[in-house]
Amino acid sequence: MNTKQSSQLASTNQLLTDLEKKKLAETFLHAVGTQNWDLLHSIITEDISWTLPGTSLISGEVNGVNAIITRAQQIVSYGASLELEYVLYGQYNVALFVHNQASRGELILDEHLATVCTICNGKISKIETYVSDVDGVNAFFK
């Protein structure tokens, strides 16, 4: 990114403090974990997208508020915990390092993931999730 692009991004995107980024990240996880869909809706943009690797029920790219909420509902319907281990800060964005655990019959989910949240004007506009065990996610979320 050149200097002109960087200054254009800064002029259209509020620069959040690390504390504000952390609060936004924690609010995202809290909203999903407590199934507070109104709260989730309030911190994401209408045109948000979320990518998640694999071929499972929760994999692929989804777009828009309703699709994001549906994906979050699917994740919690399988009993997945969302334990925040670290928040990593970028110049404009934030990444969450999360430990997910759940069990369903004989299936066990025990994975670490990184979720990168792109922030635009104080809201999450894009979510990219990177998982440590794609095969495990595929098997668990059938």
The predicted-structure confidence for 2-26, as pLDDT tens digits, reads as follows 444 444 444 445 688 999 999 999 9
Nearest Cα neighbor of 112 from 137, 93, 89, 78 is: 137
Our measurement of the distance from residue 92's CA atom to the centroid of its chain's CA atoms, rounded to an integer in Å, reads 16
The predicted-structure confidence for 93-141, as pLDDT tens digits, reads as follows 999 999 999 999 999 999 999 999 999 999 999 999 999 999 999 999 9
CA dihedral 25, 101, 134, 65 (to 10 degrees): -40
Cα–Cα distance, 56 to 53 (Å, whole number)? 8
Q: Which domain holds residue 80?
A: 3-140
* Predicted model pTM: 0.86
Contact, 128 vs 49, CB < 8 A?
Answer: no
96: domain CATH number is 3.10.450.50
The number of domains in the chain is 1
Cα–Cα distance, 7 to 66 (Å, whole number)? 32
